[in-house]
Amino acid sequence: MQVFLRRSPILLIAVLIAACAAHRDPIVDMKGVDPDALAQDWQECEAYTQEIAVSEGVARGSATGAAVGAVAGAINGDVARAAANGALYGGTKSGLDADKDKRQVFKRCLRGRGYRVLN
């Protein structure tokens, strides 16, 4: 049981990364859509998503997670491990949140240009 508890943050990170990797591109209803216009709009919408700074969010999430973890570790006596786990969790969660924001911006952009996004 103790081995599982020590590795649980690693397993959590692996599951979250796998879920992120399973993300598919938006599915667009192609009925009546000009593929060339879609390709152009796709590139332009993708450019908007680059404005979301994933690395800065991950860094802030890691720092916040480490601080919260250190406080929790001070209570149970293992500051270093708790801070490391907090940093790992905070950074991963922030990265996944930023990825979600990027997908939402991308879909909103396509919808705003008149495309019917199915997912």
Q: Which two tokens stand for residue 33?
A: 């859509």
Distance (Å, whole) CA 93 – CA 57: 9
What is the model's pLDDT at position 23? 52
What is the model's pLDDT at position 20? 52
pTM: 0.62
What is the model's pLDDT at position 5? 47
Output 86 or 18, whichever has higher pLDDT: 86
Distance (Å, whole) CA 22 – CA 8: 21
With a cut of 60, say whether residue 101 has pLDDT above it.
Answer: yes
What is the model's pLDDT at position 4? 45
What is the model's pLDDT at position 3? 46
Q: What is the CA radius of gyration of the chain?
A: 19
21-80 pLDDT tens trace: 555 789 999 999 999 999 999 999 999 988 876 666 666 777 777 777 777 677 767 777
Phi, psi for 117 (deg, rounded to 5): -90, 125
What is the model's pLDDT at position 24? 73
